[in-house]
Amino acid sequence: MQIKPWLLASRPKTLPAAMAPVFVGTALAYDAGGFDWIPALICLAFALLIQVATNFANDYFDFKKGADTVERIGPTRAVAAGLIKPETMKRMTAITFAIAFVIGLCLIPYGGWWLLAVGVASVLCGYAYTAGPYPLAYVGARGCICNGFLWGCSRFLYLLCSNGLHRFGGLARIDRDRWVEHESTGD
């Protein structure tokens, strides 16, 4: 198995969006005198894996729906470009979500059982972004859900912390604008 297509499919440029809220939360915990490396690292691993699994799911489901083709505008998509077989991507998506979920379970002793709901919601939203009968990315809920729930945390942290975090909340808008431009050309 070649690693380069998987690195491409993981979309490294999106990973800071998963890391920023964890770093800010860790800094706030430190400031409040409650810092602990173990839950901080578990949370970081969970956030990164959920982001990567969501990217894998998007790569697979956009290909299956015909939204991503070789002619797409923007970064290369691994399945559409033939770098990764669709069934392999589907399997790795499920495996990556499962690993993220199991890692997330390790946070329960630190934060309580309510974090189980956060893990389930994270996996469901990761799949629902481009999968299912009403994918969020295609039904007009994309901006509402992503900005309001998935990336809303970074907007809140922006108000609390610094102007630099706001750019991570803007990822959804950049992605949406590129998608709208792509769709309006009929490609």
Q: Is the dihedral of CA 149, 155, 161, 167 positive or negative?
A: positive
Question: pLDDT confidence of 87, banded at 50, 70, 90?
Answer: very high
23 CB-contact burial (10 Å; exposed 0-12 / middle 13-18 / buried 19+): middle
Cα 150 from Cα 58, distance rounded (Å): 15
Which tens digits make up the pLDDT trace of 123-152? Answer: 988 888 888 887 877 776 555 555 455 544
- What torsion do the CA atoms of 73, 14, 163, 158 make, to the nearest 10 degrees? 120
Structure tokens at 5: 């297509």
Residue-wise pLDDT tens digits, 153-167: 433 433 333 333 334
The pLDDT of 19-27, averaged and rounded, is 83
Residue 66: the pLDDT is 83
